[in-house]
């Protein structure tokens, strides 16, 4: 029996998130079905990040166990024809049998995309949040500085169920504009439920002048979800990568 690690990209628009659930089709379910068909075994993948409904990924990670003789690096080529066009396995490799994608030291990187112009763009509706009001990027960047480093992010978490601690470390948090597209890029050692979307929603409120940059510091200190901004919609969020430093990459 071998354990195979997959790097998976997907457009999450038409899925009820990653994790299997009774109320709709999920990315995990589709992967299980395709891999089971490929190997002739009952495959159950284990994902590193259980992205929510409508959230996208370029580099989510999953593992599965198999007795198949398919070379590890060929799994991507073999399974992609069995997947819908909005899910692609972009890489595959063998890992130790006890390697688990959620129990390793890792660096997760997300991007949140904001289309900042007066009118929406129908071609970008699946991959960005349309904000029609002008945003002050300097104020947003000033606010973002308070979030870098190790903090208790209880105020930026929707629920705490099953979480041992709400302390996380943000290594980088950058905000850039290219034309009318604003990208919030954030890397850290882990993220709480809806944490990135709440950060994005709060920074947009700063950008609109509804909050001062210093208010973000106060939100952190309050440790109350009600103090932070609204949760930004899911379609703007992309899981860019999950890097495992001990393995020398992602």
Output Rg (C-alpha) for the chain, integer angstroms. Answer: 19
Calpha distance 184→181 (Å, rounded): 10
User: Among 52, 65, 86, 136, which one carries the catalytic annotation?
Assistant: 52
Cα angle 183-188-190, degrees, rounded to a multiple of 5: 120
Contact at 8 Å (CB) between 142 and 158?
A: no
CB 175 within 8 A of CB 248: no
DSSP letters, 130-186, are EE-S---HHHHHHHHHTTSEEEE-GGG-S--TT-S--EEEEEEEEEEEETTEEEEEE
CA 213/CA 158 separation, integer angstroms: 22
Q: Specify whether 52 is catalytic.
A: yes
Instruction: Please give the positions annotated as active site.
Output: 52
């Amino acid at each position: 029996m071998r354990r195979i690690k997959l790097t998976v990209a997907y457009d999450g628009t038409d899925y009820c998130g990653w994790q299997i659930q009774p109320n709709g089709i999920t990315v995990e379910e589709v992967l299980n079905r395709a891999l089971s068909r490929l190997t002739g075994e009952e495959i159950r993948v284990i994902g590193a990040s259980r992205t929510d409904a409508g959230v996208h990924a370029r580099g989510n990670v999953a593992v599965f166990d198999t007795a198949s003789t398919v070379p590890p690096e060929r799994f991507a080529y073999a399974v992609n024809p069995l997947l819908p066009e909005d899910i692609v396995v972009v890489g595959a490799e063998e890992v130790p049998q006890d390697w688990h994608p959620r129990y390793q030291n890792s660096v997760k990187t997300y991007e949140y995309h904001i289309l900042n112009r007066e009118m929406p763009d129908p071609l970008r509706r699946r991959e960005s949040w349309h904000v029609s009001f002008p945003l002050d990027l300097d104020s947003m960047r000033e606010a973002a500085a308070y979030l870098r480093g190790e903090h208790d992010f209880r105020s930026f978490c929707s629920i705490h169920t099953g979480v041992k601690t709400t302390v996380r470390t943000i290594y980088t948090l950058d905000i850039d504009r290219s034309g009318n597209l604003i990208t919030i890029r954030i890397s850290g050692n882990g993220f709480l439920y809806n944490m990135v979307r709440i950060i994005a929603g709060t920074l947009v409120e700063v950008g609109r002048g509804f909050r001062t940059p210093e208010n973000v510091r106060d939100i952190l200190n309050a440790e109350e979800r009600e103090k932070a901004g609204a949760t930004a919609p899911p379609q703007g969020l992309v899981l860019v990568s999950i890097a495992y430093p001990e393995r020398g990459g992602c």
